[in-house]
Amino acid sequence: MRVFQMLRLRARALTRSDAVDSDLRAEMDEHLEQMVAESVARGMTRDAALEQARREFGSVTRLMEESREARGVAMISTLAQDLGYGVRLMRRTPGFAAAAALTIALGIGATTAMFSVVYGVVLKPLPYGDAERLVNIWSTAPKRGLPRAFVGMANVYDFKARNQVFEDIAALRAVANFNLTGQGEPERVNGTRVSANLFPVLRVSPLIGRTFTEEEDEIGREHVVLLGYGLWQRRFGGDPSVVGRTISLNGEPHVVVGVMGRDFAFPTRDYEIYTPLTFDPEELVNRMNYSYLAVARLRPGISVEQAQAELSTLALQIEREHPKENEGIGAQVVPMLADTVAAVRTPLYVLLAAVAAMLLIGCANLANLLLARALVRQRELAVRAALGAARGRLIRQSITELVPVLAAGGAFGVLAAAWTIAAVVPLLPADLPRVENVGLHLPVLAFSAATLVLIAVFAGVWPAIEAARGGLAASVADLSRGGTGSARRTRLRDLLVVAQIAATLWLVVGATLLGRSFGELKQVDPGFQADGVYSMHLAIPRAKYPKDRDVAAFCDRILERVRGVPGVVSAGFVNRLPLAGGAQTGPIELEGIDPRLTAGNVDFRSITPDYFSTLRIPLLGGRTFTGRDGEEAPFVAIIDERLAKTALAGVNPVGRRLRIAVGGQPWLTIVGVAGHIRHDRVDEDVRPQIYFSYKQRAQDRMALAVRTHGDPAALGASLVAAVRAVDPEQPVYDARTLAAVVDRSLAQRWLQAAVLGAFATIAVILASIGVYGVIAYAVGQRSREFGIRLALGARRGDIVASVMRRGTLLFAAGAATGLAAAAASARVFGSMLFQVNALDLFSFALATAVLFGVALAACGFPARRAAGVDPSVALRSE
Amino acid sequence: MKPIDLVQGTLDLLILKSLALEPLHGWAIARRIKQLSNDVLLVQQGSLYPALQRLEHQGWVKAKWGVSEQNRRARFYALTKAGRLQLEKETASWERLAAAVTLVVRTT
């Protein structure tokens, strides 16, 4: 009670010193007033009484000053005493202090850095009003092989009209390339077309200007634009007068109506332009075009499950009304934040668990260190306890001694975390969502503080209690004879080491699995050769090249120019580069083939003739496209090996016909078969692929691939210059080697494996220190025993074996626990692995063997020392 | 007889002693000390306050706002358990000191 009262007082004196002062002042004034009143009652005039009272009372200002001092002195004295003791102690044992502080700094630094990522990415609420009520709505079409797809506008309209669970539903289309021209370099900017109600649904207001009006959703009135904060700063220097100005997007004038705030990163930070969403009213009738993302706000009190139930019911209702168009189309409601981070949540939590394991291992070392030290001092403690010192007081002192180390370690840890975040965040893969939120936010610091308290309790309080444990008189006697300490304590120390080995092995198994998985990933043949190829993207503005033939002609001019660049072997265009993100897909039908064999979507790719040779995608049959496969020529297509095998097994595909299975598309004749490639991801092989001639199905978003002699990166600048030479206003983006594109697609997996590998390495080092420490301590304690045994004729080999046996036993216990833990987390690890079983025997065995080797080495040094004991010296020390 | 100035450090003891019976506010403490010492001990009234702050922060007294007998707002100080112990300790050491000084002064 008294402690709390004093703490409260001191806290108040520290934080609210002005309030304390004014209280005191009021008190003194009251006192003066009493004195005056007394004198006046005795017949003095008020003025004279006041004069006398002031004289007798003394200077209020000086007294206030003295009071302040009195408070400060009292507060500091006890604290300074305790801390001073701690600091003196640390100075006396600097090696110990440094090791302890370093361990704490490492633990706090790693956990803080890791948690800051977890918090920023997974936990921090989205920067919208009442963000937990925001959900995304997806279509599901399992019968068509699509577990999840965007939604169609007709369905959005029906949901909107009939549901009782949402306040409103907004729609958007996030894939819109804008070529921003005028005022400097042409630039391609990612943009989103959004319905006007998106902003009210998200509950965000623009920084300046306004958002869109309902009328601007109409075709013909949509030439208005909202700028993202980053674009506004970068391109317009943060000039507020940009609102009302007209800028050129895709060659068409758009009026800037507003600028969004710095926090607004919707749907991700890559999008910096917003324009109204217009759509062909025909879509409401034919119920086609599933290419929108729907975002809705739940009514207060409505749960995601309720909303899901309602939409499922509505989807069935709509299917009954439109049995053909809506066959098998369902709806899925997912909380927006969970949806955004779904792919990275498990890996991040695994890494956080890894950091926690590392922290545990470090703490166990620290606890062992402190326990050893506490036991050495046990005699002192025992004497003091015998003289009447309360056990609580002794424990408190032990903890206070730790405070300087904890403070130093904690401070350095947080600093290290800040440096790590600053250094590492820019290197994180660009497809890691919400990475811009990573920082030392308040909840992160609270987490660090909680971790520090945990360290203090685990590593500080516990050994202190242990050392001050009962039977003190006995231990005085025991220690004075230099005994080995109680069996209980030995067991405790052993337990710590077992826990360390278990946690380390868990980490090493995880890291080995991930490493092997990444190795497998690197072995995957993507079906094309990325080495030696340079690539870049172009968004070809339709305002400038309105007709398909204009686009194709523009591509031809660029190709001609690029082929002229010295060092270029070949060059081709494709509308979607492999592993660069984004796909164009749809259903097809093959003439005379059972539709069930061609169910599900295939990738559509429009290419120029040399695309295959540039990427070294093998042509397995027939021919590639030629310049003659133009608009007036017969329509042709090339299919991939996979489609040929699944749908046309045993039949020569060349000469057969196929078409896109969406309303009235023309038939195309198959002229060739190409090798299958990994298109979306290296670790997933989703769809078969078909190719169209760029002249027959022109696309305005194109990627240029160029095969070069030697290092392709060296040619980058001249290739961009070649494009600019054809059209100086044409922006290019994402210009890099194709190998870099492939690496980028693997970056998240690489990072997971690398970070876990780093953690595992640190854990192994820490654990080997732990094993060494415990064994070395035990050897030190038993040196007299070894001396006697040697004197009685034991061989040195026996001594070594006895020490190693103990180490091996400890390792076996730890390894069993660690392997069990690794097996138990198989499901979690499994979700992060590629073609490696989460219970992969090789990984488990390898990790165990490596750790066993390290543990043996850690035991080896103390064992050699044990064998080297000189019996005469050991016995004389009695 | 001229009142005596206080020996350094005795003020704490006097305050604790005057609070032993009941909680008092600052002015009443001053009055109590004056009464108990038959007007011999003069406490500069203002110097009570730094002392009270020190005692409060040592945890020996605790203070609470209340209303005085003159119906005015006043801060009442009361001895805590720790304060009572401290009073005993200081009383004992004062008595030892006083006895020793008396002994020295009387010895001729």
The minimum CA-CA distance between A14 and chain B, rounded to whole Å, is: 12
The alpha carbon dihedral of A454, A456, A457, A458 has a sign of positive
Per-residue pLDDT of A272-306, as tens digits, reads 999 999 888 888 988 888 889 999 999 999 999 99
Q: Around Cβ A792, how many Cβ atoms within 10 Å?
A: 8
Per residue in A554-588, pLDDT tens?
A: 999 999 999 999 999 999 999 989 998 777 888 88
Beta-carbon separation of B80 and A69 below 8 A: no
- How many CB atoms sit inside 10 A of residue B65's CB? 12
A360 neighbors A345 (Cβ within 8 angstroms): no
| Integer Cα distance of A220 and A56 in angstroms | 89
State how far the Cα of B74 lies from the Cα of B53, in Å rounded to an integer.
15
Confidence of residue A479 (pLDDT cuts 50, 70, 90): very low
The amino acid that residue A869 corresponds to is V
* Chain B hits for A39, Cβ within 8 Å: none
Contacts of A468 (CB under 8 A, 6+ apart): A381, A385, A391, A394, A395, A398
Q: Which of A571, A575, A550, A660 is nearest to A177 (CA)?
A: A575
- The H-assigned helical ranges of A299-335 are 304-321
CB-based contact (8 Å) between B9 and chain A?
A: no
Chain A residue with the nearest C-alpha to that of B31: A35
Q: CB within 8 A of B77, min separation 6: which ones?
A: B15, B19, B23, B24, B25, B26, B29, B52, B55, B56, B61, B62, B63
Residue type, B35: Q
For residue A390, the model assigns a pLDDT of 61
- Residue A684, pLDDT above cutoff 70: yes
Tell me the domain boundaries of chain A. 2-83, 131-341, 344-522+747-876, 541-729
pLDDT of residue A384: 67
Chain B hits for A31, CB-CB cut-off 8 Å, are 26-27, 30, 45-46
Is the CB of residue B50 less than 8 Å from the CB of residue A66? yes
CA distance A7 to A418: 31
Q: What is the pTM of this model?
A: 0.72
pLDDT above 90 coverage of chain A, percent: 43
Most confident residue range from A393-407, A429-443, A479-493, A531-545: A531-545
**Angle between helix B48-58 and B81-106 (nearest 10):** 120
Q: Give the closest of B25, B30, B50 to A67, CB-based.
A: B50
- Per DSSP, the residues of A459-503 read IIIHHHHHHT-S-HHHHHHHHHTT----HHHHHHHHHHHHHHHHH
Q: Please report the pLDDT score of residue A410 as a whole number.
A: 93
Q: What's the alpha-carbon Rg for chain A, to the nearest Å?
A: 37
* CB spacing of B27 vs A31 below 8 angstroms: yes
**Which of A411-420, A485-494, A608-617, B54-63 bottoms out in mean pLDDT, i.e. has the lowest?**
A485-494
- Give residue-wise pLDDT tens across range A42-83: 888 888 888 888 888 888 888 887 787 777 655 555 556 667
Q: Which residue of A has its CA nearest to B60?
A: A2
Q: How many residues does chain B have?
A: 108
> Which pLDDT score is estimated for A702?
92
The SS3 call for residue A676 is coil
Nearest to A9 among B45, B47, B56 (CB): B56
Q: Are A165 and A302 in contact (CB under 8 A)?
A: yes
Instruction: Report the range of poorest mean pLDDT among A97-106, A152-161, A317-326, A864-873.
Output: A864-873
Provide the residue type at A181 as one letter. T
Cα separation, B78 vs B90, in Å, equals 17
Q: What is the CA radius of gyration of chain B?
A: 15
Return the number of other C-beta atoms located less than 10 Å from residue A645's C-beta: 14
- How big is chain A, counted in residues? 878
Distance (Å) from the C-alpha of residue A77 to the closest C-alpha of chain B?
A: 10
For residue B1, pLDDT beyond 50: no
Topology, domain B10-106? Arc Repressor Mutant, subunit A (1.10.10)
Residues of B with CB below 8 A from A24's CB?
A: 49, 53
Q: How far apart are CA B79 and CA A732, in angstroms?
A: 81
Q: Is B54 on the interface with A (CB under 8 A)?
A: yes
Q: Which amino acid is at A213?
A: T
Q: Is B41 on the interface with A (CB under 8 A)?
A: no
Query: Can you give the pLDDT at residue B66?
Result: 85
* Model pLDDT for residues B55-93, shown as the tens digit of each residue: 888 888 988 888 877 787 888 999 988 889 889 988 888
pLDDT band at A117 (very low <50, low <70, confident <90, very high): very high
DSSP, collapsed to helix, strand or coil, labels residue A288 as: coil
* Count of other CB atoms within 10 angstroms of residue A253: 12
Task: Find the helix or strand (DSSP H, E) in which B77 lies.
Answer: strand B73-79
pLDDT given for residue A206 in this prediction: 94
> Quick one: tokens of A470?
């009962």
